Amino acid sequence: MALKDQEQIRDFNLTTYGYFLDPAQIAQQPIEPRDHSRLLCLNRSNGSLEHRCFYEFAELLTPADLLVFNDTRVIPARILVEFAKGATGEALLLKCLAERDNGCVWEAMIQPGKKFQPGRTFTVRTADQQAVIQGEVTAVLPGGNRILLFKTTARELLACGQMPLPPYIDQNPQSEAKRRSVYQTVYASADGAVAAPTAGLHFTPELLEKLKQKGVPMEFVTLHVGPGTFLPVKEDDVRNHVMHSEDFEVQAQVWQRILQHRQRGGKVVAVGTTVVRTLETLALNRRFTFHASRFTGLTNLFIQPGFRFQVVDKLITNFHTPQSTLLILVCAFAGREFIFQAYEAAKSRGYRFFSFGDAMFITA
């Protein structure tokens, strides 16, 4: 078998995306200030690595670089419920399907499943613990999610919710107010995510102002990050993995400015993998609709080795969990061997990993 063919097989073998990480290097709290996280710069052209701090990021860009952010906002979607006779359960609100006179209807992931049977009622305590919200399981969806009716408004329901931090982050040491603050980008504006676009967590208002003063253009798109971002790939051949779908929205004028910037010879810098998937979905003309001067739709684009990037030239991203779709995307962008070389360098220098961890900046 030719060496090139062997490399291709390894690129699609799930085991080649695994690595060992000392649990002590999983960041449980973000660095404060946010932009004092570390930044590992990867140059794909010459294979070099450079260790910097994120507050130096503006030094690495020029007006020829267009930054694209995901402005989705994480909602407090984790709801604790009580059934009759003291039984308890948990719902992760995924999407508000309707608001009616008798309440709001949500699709939700639930646990334990045996307690959330159609027709069963439950209660949710309000934030001040002085009242309860009545709820009912109305349907079971293929795959196990439930349709839940809450007899209140969506706004009042979310006031009772908790921030849905990733499973590898210990929620206990932090107050709910603290979680709502740190697990949100400073520019978040569009409610709908159940996980943060973590590459953007490193930006501060001061750093954004530096970039603005330097003349670096910035645009915003929206992709509501879903719980599928944490789902592991289970197929031995990653090409067989079925990617989760997520809602996105891009203003037509924003998309046009991005395309014009590239046509003028500028570079597009994606702040996170969610921005990559959104822009490359539009470039592929995947299923979406054009309505009222904006593109909307669902994307289940799974970017893996061999993918031809049409829009994104540079990428800011965190260090991702082993055998995840996020890690596979980053390897597709910069090469598996180069990325794993960078990960080993980061591990040896004590970088902090995952959502609250440090960042990488991958250039051409």
CATH of the domain at 52: 3.40.1780.10
**CATH code of the domain containing 94:** 2.40.10.240
Burial of 204 (0-12, 13-18, 19+ CB in 10 A): middle
143 and 264 in one domain?
no
295 and 199 in one domain?
yes
Query: Residue 197: its pLDDT value, please?
Result: 97
Length of the chain measured in residues? 364
Q: Which domain holds residue 132?
A: 78-158
CB contact at 8 A, 314 and 364? yes
Query: Residue 127: its pLDDT value, please?
Result: 72
Q: What is the DSSP letter of 302?
A: -
Q: What is the pLDDT of residues 15-45, one digit of tens each?
A: 999 999 999 999 999 999 999 999 999 999 9
Cβ neighbours of residue 238 closer than 8 Å, sequence gap 6 or more: 12, 13, 14, 17, 304, 328
Q: Which helix (H) or strand (E) holds 228?
A: none
327 and 241 in one domain?
yes
Tell me how far apart the alpha carbons of residues 260 and 51 are, in angstroms, rounded to a whole number.
32
- State how many domains the chain has: 2
In a domain, 169, yes or no: no
205 and 318 in one domain?
yes
Query: Residue 1: its pLDDT value, please?
Result: 44
199 and 69 in one domain?
yes
Per DSSP, the three-state class of 143 is: coil
Q: What is the DSSP letter of 232?
A: P
CB contact at 8 A, 276 and 312? yes
118 and 60 in one domain?
no
pTM: 0.94
Q: What is the pLDDT of residues 133-168, one digit of tens each?
A: 999 999 999 989 999 999 999 999 999 999 999 989
104 and 38 in one domain?
no
287 and 185 in one domain?
yes
